[in-house]
Each structure stands twice: as C-alpha cells, then as structure tokens.
Structure 1
Amino acid sequence: MLPLEIFYIYFSPYTAHAIEIDGVVYPTLEHAYQCARYTDPKIIAEIISAKSPVKAWKASSKYKHLQIPEFKTGEHKLKIMEKLMRLKTEQHEEIQKALIDSGDLEIVKHIVTPPPGDSFWDDGEDGKGLNHIGKIWMKIREGLIDAT
C-alpha cells in the first residue's frame, strides 16, 4: 500500500494544487468539487474564497439543500471527481510523476484526522469503505503508465 504521507502530499483532495477550469482557479481539488455541486454564483464564490479545503467543505455543507439534484447519485459524484482528479494530474507534473512512481501500490484514502472520513470516498472508519478516491487514482495511473 502507498505510504499515507505520499497520499497526503500528492493525492488528497486537500493538497495545495490549484486547478484551473474555464479560466477559474480553484485553490484545491476540494474547492472545485464542492463548487461543482452548485449553480448559484454567490455560493460558488463563497466556496472558492474559503481559506482552506476544510472551510470550503464547511461552506458547501451549509447549502446542501440547494445542490444540483445529480449530486444525490454516486455515479455523478464519481464522474465529477474523476474529471477533477484528471485535471489535477494534467496541470501538475509532480502529480503525474508521483502516480507513475507509485508503481502498482494500492492507493488508499485513509482519514487520520477530522473531519471524519466516509465509506464512499475513503476506507471508512473500519477500513472497509469503498475507497473511490484511491480507485480513481489507480485508474488514472494505469492510463499514464499505458501511455508511456
């Protein structure tokens, strides 16, 4: 398994790797993901201006009742997250290198500090979560390796 410190340097949605989409710069992948939940420009601006990924998540959580309906489905969440993770990879060479350098190690998103993890994106509190973040990274890595 990939060492946790490597995950948190490169692959966490909270890492300080900005993502640019259509001329808008999101400070982190987490900011971009939370903004994707909404169409209201005021909500999006509040999330983008959040001083940390945790604060972006908290700002978004206040408006969950206003998120686009598609975000209620796991399939849509996965599609958006993969798109954003691919952009992060394309826009940051060190992410590409870290993915390739990770070889065939399993990538697991494991939460060690608050906010609490969930069993959809990470391995859950009991280690039996779905780990979709890790699975998406491994899928992207496979594509990078196949392309070299």
Structure 2
Amino acid sequence: MTIEFYSTKHIYGEFSNFAPFAFEIDGLVYPTSEHYFQAMKFPDEQYQERIRETKSPMIAARLGRSRKVKIRDDWEEVKIDIMRTAVRAKFLAHPTLQDLMLETGDETLVEAADGDYFWGAGKDGSGQNWLGKILMEVRDELRESPPENT
C-alpha cells in the first residue's frame, strides 16, 4: 500500500516540508524543514538568515527559488543530503512525529506533488519521489535505533 502526502491540511500533512515543526541545526532554529532546505541553497549567510527568519515556508520557498542571489556551486551534488539532514532533524526533534512515522509500518511514502518530478511523484506518478525516499530512510533509522526520550 502507499501513503500519499502533500498538503499540511490533510492526513500525513506532518510529512510535508511546510509543516510547522521547528528544529535546531548548528545552534539555529528553523521553523520548518522548508526554511532549512531553502536557506542552504545559498553561500550568502545574510540571505540564509533572511530565509530562516521569514514568517512562512511559502515565502522561504519563494526566496529559495529566486536566482537574483547566486546559489552554491555544488547545489545539485548536495541537495539530497541537505534534505536528508533537514528531515532527520525535524523528526528527531518531535517524538509525536516519530510515532506517526513508525505507525506507517512498511508502507511506501509518496509526496503527491503534481508539479514536482524530483522530490515528488509528479502528475503521472513517474517522479523520483526523493522526499518520500528520504522519509522512508528516516523511518528505517528510527526503527533501528529509536532516540531515547528524555
């Protein structure tokens, strides 16, 4: 069976990068995984900070898609690892998310993003679904070594 997610307003919306689950990386708090992912596209620390501090993930995404500011040269090589870092940090920071993730069992997780053939499944399901793959990797990690609840 497959579990599809996309909108934060629907079932499993917590898996979306727009879902409001803050986490800390390198001493900085990011309101969503979208904020972190978009900020990491840029070598310019001031622009990173502008993205991190923006009020919504939609604005963070818009700023991250801008090409008025130069993105890092190695972006295509590192973007999957950056997403993996964001997703892992988000789930490790929230036990309720860990529980929800583990409740999905062995189901295939698919980002049902019609227009995204890299991170999602795309309109016809032929997309690479990298966000879903990363979520399933994190689920496996949680199963293998559950974080200690303090």
Identity rate, percent: 33
1:94 pairs, out of 71, 93, 96, with 96
Q: Say whether 1:18 aligns with 2:22.
A: yes
Deviations 1:47-69 (A, max 9, x none): 12222111101112224651111
Check the 8 A contact 1:100/1:144 in 2, yes or no.
Answer: yes
Q: How many residues align?
A: 141
When residues 64 and 98 of structure 1 are mapped into structure 2, their CA distance, relative to the original with a 3 A threshold, is farther
Residue in structure 2 matched with residue 62 of structure 1 by the alignment: 66
Residue in structure 2 matched with residue 7 of structure 1 by the alignment: 12
Residue in structure 2 matched with residue 146 of structure 1 by the alignment: 144
2:12 is paired with a residue whose SS is: helix
Paired residue type of 2:129: N
Whole-angstrom CA distance in 1 between matches of 2:60 and 2:80: 19
Alignment of 1:1-148 (within 5 A): 1-2=2-3, 4=5, 5-8=10-13, 10-63=14-67, 66-73=70-77, 76-111=78-113, 117-147=115-145
TM-score (normalizing by structure 1): 0.87
Deviations 1:75-95 (A, max 9, x none): x11111111111111111111
2:127 is paired with a residue whose SS is: coil
Higher relative strand content:
2
Check the 8 A contact 2:52/2:60 in 1, yes or no.
Answer: yes
When residues 79 and 3 of structure 1 are mapped into structure 2, their CA distance, relative to the original with a 3 A threshold, is closer
Higher relative helix content:
1
Deviations 1:85-125 (A, max 9, x none): 111111111111111111111110012xxxx6310100012
- The unaligned stretches of length 5 or more in structure 2 are none
